[in-house]
Homo-oligomer: A and B are copies of this chain.
Amino acid sequence: LQGPGLHGAGRISDRFWSPRLELVRDVVVPYQWEVLNDQVPDATPSHAIENFRIAAGEQQGTFHGMVFQDSDVAKWLEAVAYLLQHERDETLEQRADDTIELIARAQHEDGYLNTYFTCQAPGERWTNLCECHELYCAGHMIEAAVAYFEATGKRRLLEVMCRFVDHVETVFGHESGQIAGYDGHPEIELALMRLYDATGEPRYLKLCRFFVEERGQLPHFYDLEWERRGRTHHDFGAGTQPFMLHKKTYSQAHAPVHEQDRAVGHAVRFAYLCTGMAQLAQRSDDKALLATCRRLWDNMASRQLYVTGGIGAQAPEESFTTDFDLPNDTVYGETCAAIGVVFLARQMLAAEPDRRYADVMERALYNNVLAGMSLDGQHFFYVNPLEVDPKVLADNPILEHVKPVRQRWFTCACCPPNLARLIASLDRYVVGCADDTAWVHLYIGGEFELPLSAGTLRLHQETDMPWQGAVTLTIGADVPVQARLALRIPAWAEGFEVSLDGERLDAEMSSNGYLELERQWQDGDRIALRLEMPVRRVYPHRALRHDAGRVALQRGPLVYCLEQADNGERLHDIALREGGIVDTLEGTDALSGMTLLRAEALRENAAGEALYRFDDAPTYTRTEAVFVPYFAWANRQEGEMRVWTRELPRRA
């Protein structure tokens, strides 16, 4: 089944992204396998595979790890599926098949599958949805099953998960003896929509709708199940109220979704829930639900989104805070949350193509998401601050979550596998098709299928993005196909030129930010798009308290930052001059191949040792400041970093 507005798969072949995909294949996914199998000497054992062996009755022992440990195996399998889709690898496929068989053996007769409850608390299935991630784990395994089926044609895991979902369907509902509830961590919703897409089974869509619509209803499900199970907390036992029971915004369960109008709570939960809702709205043509998604998106994108595409302004609850509140140093900005933004943007694009979604998707992808992984693919950021001073981190607990260098991954291994599956499936984010229109959302080199009503086109993209703004799109077609090709003009492009087979076109951008080219496309048609990619100065909305008087630099989709490695200590002492020249320069060593920026700047002079001085305004010395792409920060020595730089107006 290929619904309207869906995004097809393709094959990435891109100077920027292919090496990253290879890192995922050669470094991340193999390392992840070792972690799952407790083969990394320095890491806390994951136990994730062993949990399945114990659940399958093939090994003695007890469950270890987080209650959602199973999802680590699912994410690995999903990433493997995408890798296999790109390139067959018998050893890897055998390993995946074996793992799938192990998973199948851990499944109960009735279809239930979850190693925590099987091993640890067999009598407590479905008694603590609020905290225990059963449907969340199911969702990740469904995603893996669908991806593996799509990649290999093998139905084994798909069938396992369909059986589980069939069981879930009997457990949840409004009939007597059923549970009218939902998971504390959204994920099952988007997974059920993927399963629906893969199988065409309308029951899955219906079950997804059930979970979406139950959320936040009164009397509140979390309260009811808490009473039913005798007021116990998953971690702290009897009597302690779970945090989520008290703070229902945390899991977006404070109100029915159609009454929600702001992005609140745990940022990853928010993005996953909305992704599922957007899919559901689009597949079921539910305009009211789509309006809800749009409302929540708009609040997120226009009031709570970092310039790096990150979300989640506060660390203690990994959550949004409130409108126009985006601190740069205490931010959480979890890699997984930015990945969630990419997921959600993709579904919003499927529902209603508009560059505002693609602009944010690209912003998140090239900045917050990509910063999550080191250039060598071996180290990861969970938290992505926009301002770091390593000297102060150890001495203030509110910065405890911020790391000045990327870490190997350990106990709660959400971000690295999430990065792996996103990068490995990046081809699914590039183009979209519905009826007679194909949209090009991202300019990433490769070959993409465009199944249109009048026939299928192949689109071959070549580009040096994000470093250069030129893109060549070559059409492959077995027969001529009448269709509209809609090319996104990113908001960062100061202008553009487009030509077809060498002839300049006088095309205009449509209101949704796409350049629409309609004709009968022939094999070999060649579109050349040149996006003007000057350095842009990004200014914050005046309500953004933490960025007042500051500017960020962006070139193409890349947001830049200052690092101590290039600029010395005290980055806050550097100020750009309004309208000052910024030019590009080539990165060297660790940053070779990258375009850096060099800006006319002023540097505050020392003015004695006094902590405070009277009437002696700071003076400045002219200097040059070097900016590096945000995604590439912290790949040299540990040091300060800052995205928003002071800017002094020419005249006050």
Q: Which residues of A contact B (CB under 8 A)?
A: 301-303, 305, 307, 313-317, 320-322, 325, 327, 330, 389, 391-392, 394-398, 491-492, 494, 536-545, 548-549, 551-552, 554, 570, 572-573, 575, 577-579, 602, 604-607, 609-618, 620, 646-652
Q: Take A322-B392, A612-B541 as given contacts and tell me if A617 and B398 are in contact as well, using a CB distance cutoff of 8 Å.
A: no
Which residues of B sit under 8 angstroms from A554, Cβ to Cβ? 614
Most buried by B among A543, A606, A650: A543
Contact A604 B542 (CB under 8 A): yes
A314 interface neighbour in B396, B617, B649, Cβ under 8 Å: B396
Q: Which residue of B lies closest to A249 (CB)?
A: B395
Which residues of B sit under 8 angstroms from A317, Cβ to Cβ? 397
Contact B652 A548 (CB under 8 A): no
Contact B652 A398 (CB under 8 A): no
Contact B604 A395 (CB under 8 A): no
Cα distance A648–B538 in the bound complex, in angstroms: 19
Cα distance A494–B615 in the bound complex, in angstroms: 10
| With A536-B614, A537-B614, A554-B614 already in contact, 14 other A-B pairs whose C-beta atoms are closer than 8 Å | A316-B398, A325-B391, A330-B330, A537-B617, A541-B612, A542-B570, A542-B604, A542-B605, A549-B575, A575-B652, A578-B617, A617-B647, A618-B649, A648-B649
- Copies of this chain in the oligomer: 2
14 A–B pairs (Cβ distance < 8 Å), ordered by A? A301-B611, A322-B394, A325-B391, A325-B392, A325-B395, A492-B614, A539-B618, A541-B607, A542-B605, A542-B607, A543-B570, A544-B611, A545-B572, A620-B649
Cα distance A545–B313 in the bound complex, in angstroms: 20
Contact A491 B651 (CB under 8 A): no
Cα distance A444–B602 in the bound complex, in angstroms: 45
Which residues of B sit under 8 angstroms from A322, Cβ to Cβ? 391-392, 394-396
Cα distance A421–B155 in the bound complex, in angstroms: 78
Most buried by B among A397, A542, A577, A650: A542
A610 interface neighbour in B316, B541, B548, B551, Cβ under 8 Å: B541
CB distance from A385 to the nearest CB of B (A): 13
Which residues of B sit under 8 angstroms from A611, Cβ to Cβ? 301-303, 305, 540-541, 544
Cα distance A540–B573 in the bound complex, in angstroms: 11
Cα distance A394–B249 in the bound complex, in angstroms: 13
Which residues of B sit under 8 angstroms from A389, Cβ to Cβ? 325, 545
The SS class assigned to the A binding surface is loop
CB distance from A341 to the nearest CB of B (A): 14
A649 interface neighbour in B316, B543, B605, B652, Cβ under 8 Å: B652
A307 interface neighbour in B302, B573, B612, Cβ under 8 Å: B612
A617 interface neighbour in B301, B305, B327, B579, Cβ under 8 Å: B579
CB distance from A413 to the nearest CB of B (A): 25
CB distance from A645 to the nearest CB of B (A): 10
Q: Take A395-B321, A542-B606, A612-B540 as given contacts and tell me if A578 and B316 are in contact as well, using a CB distance cutoff of 8 Å.
A: no
Cα distance A543–B572 in the bound complex, in angstroms: 8
Which residues of B sit under 8 angstroms from A614, Cβ to Cβ? 491-492, 494, 536-539, 554
Q: Which residue of B lies closest to A578 (CB)?
A: B617
Q: Take A540-B612, A620-B652, A650-B651 as given contacts and tell me if A316 and B607 are in contact as well, using a CB distance cutoff of 8 Å.
A: no
CB distance from A544 to the nearest CB of B (A): 7
Contact B302 A610 (CB under 8 A): yes
Q: Which residue of B lies closest to A548 (CB)?
A: B572
Contact A646 B549 (CB under 8 A): yes
Contact A615 B537 (CB under 8 A): yes
Which residues of B sit under 8 angstroms from A602, Cβ to Cβ? 652
Contact B313 A396 (CB under 8 A): yes
CB distance from A294 to the nearest CB of B (A): 16
Cα distance A398–B314 in the bound complex, in angstroms: 8
Q: Which residue of B lies closest to A313 (CB)?
A: B396
Cα distance A392–B324 in the bound complex, in angstroms: 9
Which residues of B sit under 8 angstroms from A320, Cβ to Cβ? 395
Most buried by B among A320, A539, A616: A539
Which residues of B sit under 8 angstroms from A315, Cβ to Cβ? 398
Contact A646 B548 (CB under 8 A): yes
Counting from the closest, the 3 A-B pairs by CB-CB distance are A648-B652, A316-B397, A548-B572
Q: Which residue of B lies closest to A610 (CB)?
A: B541
CB distance from A260 to the nearest CB of B (A): 15
Cα distance A303–B649 in the bound complex, in angstroms: 30
Which residues of B sit under 8 angstroms from A537, Cβ to Cβ? 614-615, 617
Cα distance A85–B322 in the bound complex, in angstroms: 52
Which residues of B sit under 8 angstroms from A577, Cβ to Cβ? 652
Which residues of B sit under 8 angstroms from A321, Cβ to Cβ? 392, 395-396
Which residues of B sit under 8 angstroms from A616, Cβ to Cβ? 539
CB distance from A334 to the nearest CB of B (A): 16
Q: Which residue of B lies closest to A317 (CB)?
A: B397
Contact A613 B539 (CB under 8 A): yes
